[in-house]
Structure 1
Amino acid sequence: MKPRKRAGEEPPAAVAAAMKKADVVIVPVSYSITHTHAVKDAAAAGARIIVMTDFTPEVMMHGGIEADFDQIKPTCIAVAKALEDANEIHVTSPGGTDLTFKTGGRRGNALYCVVEKGQFSTIPTIEANTTPIEGTAEGVIVCDASIPYLGIGLVDEPVICKVEKGFITDIQGGRAAEILKKDLASHGDKNSYNIAELGIGLNPKCRMCGIMLEDEGVLGTCHIGIGTSLTLGGVTKAPCHYDLIMWHPTIVADGKVIFDKDKPLV
């Protein structure tokens, strides 16, 4: 297919139909189609899906791809279960993040680069994630690591997002903040501002380098996804899905610390 114009854009109907009938789907694309109905529907039909967004030869040879996926699998599953079992999650970071949201009843997703029937995983990131219940997120997100979309990559100044009733209501910062603010406004859709995901990086081999599927897996980080949540267990479809990555978070689920700065505690 022709490259999509932006992350989160649906593939052509013929491609989506082929994905639903396939046993295995490999997705080497320049703009992510992970958060689309096409991927959700293909997984629901039983496909095993491997996502390779924005891959380069370097990513194929070094960094996160060198991890022992089978060895990390049990930890990833345990963190995902801790997220799934929680009713309320509180995320803080040394950079200033202080975000709470409800997640009772939402599934936890373990993405460890090995997929069974009906699953998808992004390579080489290893992460556990979940989706907030719409409208419940409150607080502040401070992204001080990377926004690996829109040509931003590593941030040179923290991006500070105020969150009210499940949506980003204000964005402050330098160059990266202005790019993000302009792009979100261009969609003309409130759902672009939706707090869609908490993802926890668990790959000790991933490097913070400005490439999405490396950055999001870095052990010692978490990311808050904004926009579409439907492929992860939420109900929101937006024109986009972007991740705001921060360093050394502390993540508390129902009063219990499950991740502390650079290590899982489950």
Structure 2
Amino acid sequence: MRKMERGASIIIHKWVRLKPWDRLLIVTSKEYEQEAKALRRQASTVTRSVSVLLVENKGMHVGMFFDDNEEIFDPYTTIIAATEYSLVTTKAAKRAIRRHKKFLSLPLSTNDGRSMLRYDFLMMDTKKSRMLSKVIMKYLKNSSRIRITTPAGTDLTVEKRGREPGFFNGVLKDSKDYSSASIEVYVPIEETRTNGIMVVDGSLGYIGRAENPVRVRFEAGRIVEIEDNPTGNRLKAYMDQYQDPRICIAGELGIGLNSLSKCEGNCYIEDESAYGTFHIGLGRNIALGGIQNAKGHFDLVAHSPSIYTDNRQIMQEGKIIVPEPDFIY
């Protein structure tokens, strides 16, 4: 319980930085009532206006409710989406962000029985992540094409013309009042211009660790082939559950920045945050700055990327190599 309270305190006081005049809504489900109670306890030390919205846990389809009820966040100044799956890419989140409400996406999905609020990666120095993100975003912003390779065999090209990179580190003030618990730089890539092979040897998003590396082939922005092996079959079965062909479309490139995170398949948000990894986000990307809607969003994570922005290399096998402050890593 002590670690859960520590995590809740970090989120309320350091990330959201709740104020006495804020009207807070915590969105959660019955499975995560303990986390919601911890967040509420911490929030109640700051403001008297704290509400909890319990929604039915529909797993990967929970976002559909928030697509159908865009106005649900209108009465509140601050929203913490403490559900199993991320809500940051939903229409309701997009509306809240457009209206300059504070919005934190806090996906609580784990595969090891521990509460996400108990994980040590929440203690990452957010100032360090902010400095590091600025270094990477400088090169991403001025590029139109990004190539990613890995020792496992990834050779993937994405394009981002007209798209702006952003970053998350939990702290709402650092990313224009909306953020995610995932500490990363992200790019809402062009939805029809991802091509090549990604060898997924890290995480399959919500369904956990990639026990065997699996080759995923993209053409014109869409997955056209997943390798026939146990990991690949598991991934295909999971994606079929969305019952939406748009879940096969690449809509995001992410680069993990959290040096306290481990990519072990235990926690969705920790996996994609891990320094030394990159991920491709599939499906919905509208709240990130893209145009792709879908019934959901999840990430495929791979280790040790070498990343090239146009003709400039910014990462070598998982380590940033562009000039950066000496104290960061």
TM-score, length of structure 2 as denominator length = 0.74
Matches of 2:269 and 2:293, distance apart in 1: 21
Letter aligned with residue 271 of structure 2: D
> Which residue number in structure 2 is paired with residue 121 of structure 1?
179
Structure 2 alignment gaps of length 5 or more: 1-54, 323-329
Letter aligned with residue 28 of structure 1: A
1:33 to 53, 77, 87: 87
Letter aligned with residue 122 of structure 1: S
Larger proportion of helix:
2
SS at match of 2:158: strand
Kindly indicate whether the alpha-carbon contact (under 8 Å) linking 2:102 and 2:178 is maintained by their aligned counterparts in 1. Answer: yes
> Which residue number in structure 1 is paired with residue 191 of structure 2?
134
Give the CA deviation at 1:26: 0.8
Q: 1:90 to 1:12 in 2, by over 3 A?
A: closer
> Which residue number in structure 2 is paired with residue 154 of structure 1?
209
Give the CA deviation at 1:90: 0.3
Root-mean-square deviation (CA, aligned residues, Å) is 2.1
> Which residue number in structure 2 is paired with residue 196 of structure 1?
251
Cα offsets for 1:15-68 (capped at 9, x unmatched): 642323422111110122222111111111111111211267653244211111
Letter aligned with residue 163 of structure 1: F
Identity among equivalent pairs (%): 27
Give the CA deviation at 1:213: 0.8
Larger proportion of strand:
1
1:238 to 282, 294, 315: 294
Q: 1:200 to 1:13 in 2, by over 3 A?
A: closer
Give the CA deviation at 1:75: 1.1
> Which residue number in structure 1 is paired with residue 149 of structure 2?
92
Give the CA deviation at 1:204: 0.3
SS at match of 2:65: coil
Please identify, of 134-143 and 28-37, the stretch whose mean Cα deviation from structure 2 is larger.
28-37
> Which residue number in structure 2 is paired with residue 257 of structure 1?
313
TM-score, length of structure 1 as denominator length = 0.90
Letter aligned with residue 24 of structure 1: T
1:3 to 50, 53, 57: 57
> Which residue number in structure 2 is paired with residue 103 of structure 1?
160
Matches of 2:270 and 2:59, distance apart in 1: 22
Q: 1:8 to 1:95 in 2, by over 3 A?
A: farther
Q: 1:80 to 1:9 in 2, by over 3 A?
A: same
Give the CA deviation at 1:9: 2.1
Q: 1:4 to 1:104 in 2, by over 3 A?
A: same
Cα offsets for 1:103-144 (capped at 9, x unmatched): 121010111111138532221x31001022121111011100
2:74 to 16, 20, 31: 20
Kindly indicate whether the alpha-carbon contact (under 8 Å) linking 1:98 and 1:141 is maintained by their aligned counterparts in 2. Answer: yes
SS at match of 1:10: helix
Please identify, of 82-91 and 197-206, the stretch whose mean Cα deviation from structure 2 is larger.
82-91
Aligned: 1:213 with 2:278: no
Give the CA deviation at 1:187: 4.0
Give the CA deviation at 1:209: 3.1
> Which residue number in structure 2 is paired with residue 145 of structure 1?
202
> Which residue number in structure 2 is paired with residue 82 of structure 1?
139
> Which residue number in structure 1 is paired with residue 103 of structure 2?
49
Kindly indicate whether the alpha-carbon contact (under 8 Å) linking 1:76 and 1:126 is maintained by their aligned counterparts in 2. Answer: no
Largest Rg, 1 or 2: 2
Matches of 2:245 and 2:138, distance apart in 1: 30
